[in-house]
Structure 1
Amino acid sequence: MNGTDATIGMLGARDLLEGLPLAAYVCDARGELVAFNADAAALLRLSSSDAPPYCPADEFATLTGTPLRREDTAVALALRTRARTPAQTYAIGWRDGRQLRVRETARPVLGLDGSLLGAVCVVESLRETALYEAAKAGGLAQLVGLFVSDMHGQLVEATDEYLRILGYTREELESGSFRWDRCTAPEHLMRDHQGIEEALRTGKCRPYEKDYLRKDGSRVPVLIGYTLVRPRQNQFIGYVVDLSTRLRQYADVNEAMRAAETGVWDWDARTGQVIWSETTRTLMGCASEYQPHDIHEFLKLIHPDDRDRVRQALSDSLAARSTFRADFRLRDPELRDRWLFSQGGVFSDYAGDGVRMSGTLVDISARKQAEQVLRDAIAVRDEFLSVASHELRTPITSILLRAESLLKKMPAPEPASTKPQPLVAALELIIRQARKIDSLVGDMLDATRLSHKKLFLDRTRTDVVELLSTYVAQTVDHEPRASAGLHLELPAPTSPPVFASWDRRRIEQVLDNLVSNAFKYGAGRPVTVRLSFPARGLARIEVEDHGIGIAVEAREKLFQPFERAHRAVSFGGLGLGLYIAREIVQAHHGTITLDSELGVGTTFRVDLPLAPP
């Protein structure tokens, strides 16, 4: 029998190590590891290939951080002195940064002839003690009760706050007469057993609420949670939070919310449990004693047309851990006119997964009715504008055609005459004003179409340079302000020409609105239309003026219908031009932006893809 066999023989069978409730290992007289149990392997990262003295730790230190030599560890002292060493506490560290606080006891193993065969060492993790002491030192014990206990109800240690919550003294704790299982309300014992099973299976128990029975017989609601820290002994370290103050505050809040007709709900996505306040039950049209068993019962109460939307909103909020918002009607025929709005937040577990939602519920029926009245009024307005626009365009078109026909029939002016004939001037004025009215009526008709999402594009293959050149030339011919003040800047000639899939008439309408605004607010200075191609497949059209500019606070609302940057009394128009321009540009999958400086001028920038995406 060699030394190793002799050592193991003195200790009995190797299975004896596995029967010990703590981590244990055996080394020979030279300090080389010869046997260990599963707890020691897990705690100290041991394997059969480990070298002496007993674990692959890189450094040893006292709990105060002072370096400790391996020769001063408990097992080394037992081998050197051939005497049992008292419990020693120190920290061991690994190369990966992990550290472990342990309490270690060792005793030598001697042969029949007195020779040294080896040593047996028992190691206890101080993790739970460190957590416990750190929590106490950090003041946490003044906020929550901390305890160390086994699964059978025996308390090992507890803070003063824990004893206060349950109404016991430290003498009763130390005498063993105080056990936590005897303090739990009978209806919550099953929940305790479920929590213990969860901790034994996963290492920790998710916090849950229950009632403790105090020594004087009164009840105290608490939130409890615990973590398994000594698996071999089934010991836990846990905390308890006194909820009695919170519940009193909740009662006050609940009363206030009842007065405000606001319901409260809570949904545990893990168990499916749903809890409703009394106001929530009333708003949902349920009896005062009704309580849904799960989320599916809640969804069954929702109108079928809204049910899938609400279900999807709940699922999306839980998955993304985002705020839940949804409005819906009820299934009950007598309550179908009732609209409810719910909003809630998501609570996550330690892994970051959404596991619970809580929120509020309010009746928004009055708001929905007001919205419907407003929609009906808008529909009537739009219908009126549409009819009025069509009816106005007929006489305007007739006036414009007749005036243009009369102008063509007028005799040519005499060569020596420098003044236009009065009748010619009158006809030209009529034509300009008729075109202006026709443009305003067209804007009203377009605004009505846009409000109903009825703007359709007639895309054609368009030469971009030719479109800009033709538009500017026609504008100069027909717009007196443009004859000497409208300039076109084009990029260097390209071959072949650049074509785009645009609705030509609508793009010209955008240019009309931008150029018209540029002359209106340009203080009589020249206006520039500029074309460039900043990226492949993208055309940029800029309209630049040197006028009064636009204030920063006015830019956000500038593209809204009937909004303008300057007072209406100073400048004419309906305030629809930029709104229509933006909608046309967005329908082409483009963007419209602006740069402006007060007193310097404004540049509107339109970026349009040459082909639709």
Structure 2
Amino acid sequence: MAGRIEERTVSQHEAQQALSASEARLRRVIESSMIGIFFWEVSGAVTETNDAFLEIIGYTREDLEAGRIDWTALTPPEEAEADRRAIEQLRATGRCASYEKHYLHRDGHRVPVLIGGALLSDSTRQGVAFIVDLSERRQAEADRHARRVAEAASSAKSEFLANMSHEIRTPMNAILGMSYLALQSGLNPQQHNYIQKVHASAESLLGIINDILDFSKIEAGKLDMEAIPFNLSDVMDNLANLIGLKAEEKGLELLFVEPPELPEALVGDPSRLGQVLLNLGNNAVKFTERGEVVIGVAVLARDDASVRLRFEVSDTGIGMSAEQQGRLFEPFTQADASTSRRYGGTGLG
């Protein structure tokens, strides 16, 4: 008899140890879970919770122990009906399907969550709830939606700019053509001066239109680059002709620096290269009151099949501060408002 009692005592002790170990494992799982977990009573009391749920609602364990956390009060009034339906489902089946709702954080903001739960097996008035914080997911969805809206707006803007540019370029080319022919006819000096100003203004406007059209193509990812044979000297000569007169009118010295080893015959897009250098050169002349503008080319690397060149445009003009340089590649942006008023331009150069 004594042996059986001792054996039963040992068995009960082992069972108690196993139960304690199981409870400890379960508690560690609950405490370390990234999902919010809390045990509740139908009355509204939260009897136990993990840190993840406390973080979701913004309360502390001291609030829990003091009875200041009422799960029914954490739900916005307009969403209370969903909780009532979940409780009814719990009573009928012992568990409820997960559903989305909000919790009221202690600081007042709403936290979107996905919640599910079950009744404890030995009770119809106590249960456990599992809560997933959806804040990051909702923010990611909002960011994606905002990005789609922005992309759609950008696409619409680019398409509008492209269409308007094409519509304006057609009559502008006619103005350029007719004014050029008029300049070749027998005009008196005053008439020639008037038509010359019309022609120059039309060329300036066409340049702005082309810049806008190219910008819209870049935004839409539709700017094509050619790869055709060309002579670099032709690009530089054309650049000198286009910039030289403006530099001369301002009394500026226009210099070209080219190394002797510079190759003449290249393959690339001479039109785009000329456009970039023309914009940089025109800006240099525009923002320089006295001194010089230097357009230089340097050979960085060369082999039998290719050459890497660096083009530089420097001037003795007003320059830019470090802050202004940080906005250098923002479209429609200039150093400050006074720059546009004094020197003109769209900020696309």
The two structures share one fold, judged by TM-score above 0.5: yes
Name which of 116, 125, 130 aligns with 1:288.
116
CA separation of 1:491 and 1:370: change in aligned 2, threshold 3 A = closer
Name which of 276, 299, 309 aligns with 1:539.
309
SS of aligned partner of 1:540: strand
TM-score (norm 1): 0.37
Alignment correspondent of 1:573 = 345
Deviation at 1:549, TM superposition (A): 0.9
In structure 1, C-alpha distance between the alignment counterparts of 2:134 and 2:345, rounded to whole Å: 41
SS of aligned partner of 2:137: strand
Deviation at 1:479, TM superposition (A): 6.7
Larger Rg: 1
CA separation of 1:551 and 1:287: change in aligned 2, threshold 3 A = closer
Alignment correspondent of 2:56 = 254
Name which of 501, 507, 513 aligns with 2:273.
507
Alignment correspondent of 1:325 = none
Q: Work out whether 1:490 is the aligned partner of 2:266.
A: no
Give structure 2 stretches of 5+ with no counterpart. 1-9, 33-47, 60-70, 77-95, 102-111, 119-132
Deviation at 1:571, TM superposition (A): 2.6
Contact 1:400 1:434 in 2 (8 A): yes
Name which of 183, 189, 197 aligns with 2:17.
183
Contact 2:227 2:269 in 1 (8 A): yes
Name which of 289, 296, 301 aligns with 1:530.
296
- Equivalent positions of 1:120-139 (< 5 A) are none
In structure 2, C-alpha distance between the alignment counterparts of 1:464 and 1:399, rounded to whole Å: 31
Contact 1:476 1:483 in 2 (8 A): no
Contact 2:232 2:265 in 1 (8 A): yes
SS of aligned partner of 1:509: helix
CA separation of 1:438 and 1:569: change in aligned 2, threshold 3 A = same
In structure 1, C-alpha distance between the alignment counterparts of 2:53 and 2:230, rounded to whole Å: 70
- Equivalent positions of 1:473-488 (< 5 A) are 473-476=241-244, 481=249, 485-488=253-256
TM-score (norm 2): 0.62
SS of aligned partner of 2:336: coil
In structure 2, C-alpha distance between the alignment counterparts of 1:561 and 1:385, rounded to whole Å: 14
In structure 2, C-alpha distance between the alignment counterparts of 1:187 and 1:255, rounded to whole Å: 30
Alignment correspondent of 1:307 = none
CA RMSD between the two structures: 4.2
SS of aligned partner of 1:282: strand
Alignment correspondent of 2:25 = 210
Deviations 1:206-237 (A, max 9, x none): xxx7148xxxxxx99788xxxxxxxxxxxxxx
Deviation at 1:281, TM superposition (A): 6.1
Deviation at 1:488, TM superposition (A): 0.8
In structure 2, C-alpha distance between the alignment counterparts of 1:512 and 1:432, rounded to whole Å: 16
In structure 1, C-alpha distance between the alignment counterparts of 2:248 and 2:196, rounded to whole Å: 11
Q: Work out whether 1:551 is the aligned partner of 2:308.
A: no
- Equivalent positions of 1:359-398 (< 5 A) are 361-362=137-138, 364-398=140-174
Deviation at 1:519, TM superposition (A): 1.2
State the percentage of identical aligned residues. 23
Deviation at 1:473, TM superposition (A): 3.6
Contact 1:403 1:431 in 2 (8 A): yes
Which has the bigger relative contact order, CA under 8 A and spacing at least 6? 2
SS of aligned partner of 1:437: helix
Alignment correspondent of 2:190 = 422
Contact 2:183 2:195 in 1 (8 A): yes
In structure 1, C-alpha distance between the alignment counterparts of 2:226 and 2:246, rounded to whole Å: 25
Alignment correspondent of 1:165 = none
- Equivalent positions of 1:414-453 (< 5 A) are 421-453=189-221
In structure 2, C-alpha distance between the alignment counterparts of 1:575 and 1:361, rounded to whole Å: 38
Contact 2:299 2:309 in 1 (8 A): yes
Q: If each structure's helix is expressed as a fraction of its own residues, which one has the higher value?
A: 2
CA separation of 1:493 and 1:382: change in aligned 2, threshold 3 A = closer
CA separation of 1:462 and 1:286: change in aligned 2, threshold 3 A = same
Contact 1:185 1:211 in 2 (8 A): no
In structure 2, C-alpha distance between the alignment counterparts of 1:341 and 1:434, rounded to whole Å: 57
The amino acid across from 2:159 in the alignment is E
- Equivalent positions of 1:216-295 (< 5 A) are 248-256=50-58, 282=100, 288-289=116-117
Deviations 1:12-54 (A, max 9, x none): xxxxxxxxxxxxxxxxxxxxxxxxxxxxxxxxxxxxxxxxxxx
Deviations 1:125-175 (A, max 9, x none): xxxxxxxxxxxxxxxxxxxxxxxxxxxxxxxxxxxxxxxxxxxxxxxxxxx
In structure 2, C-alpha distance between the alignment counterparts of 1:341 and 1:457, rounded to whole Å: 45
SS of aligned partner of 2:310: strand
The amino acid across from 2:317 in the alignment is G
In structure 1, C-alpha distance between the alignment counterparts of 2:324 and 2:308, rounded to whole Å: 29
Deviation at 1:398, TM superposition (A): 1.0
Deviation at 1:471, TM superposition (A): 2.3
Deviation at 1:490, TM superposition (A): 1.2
Contact 2:176 2:199 in 1 (8 A): yes
Deviation at 1:372, TM superposition (A): 3.9
Equivalent residues, number: 263
The amino acid across from 1:500 in the alignment is L
Deviation at 1:486, TM superposition (A): 1.6
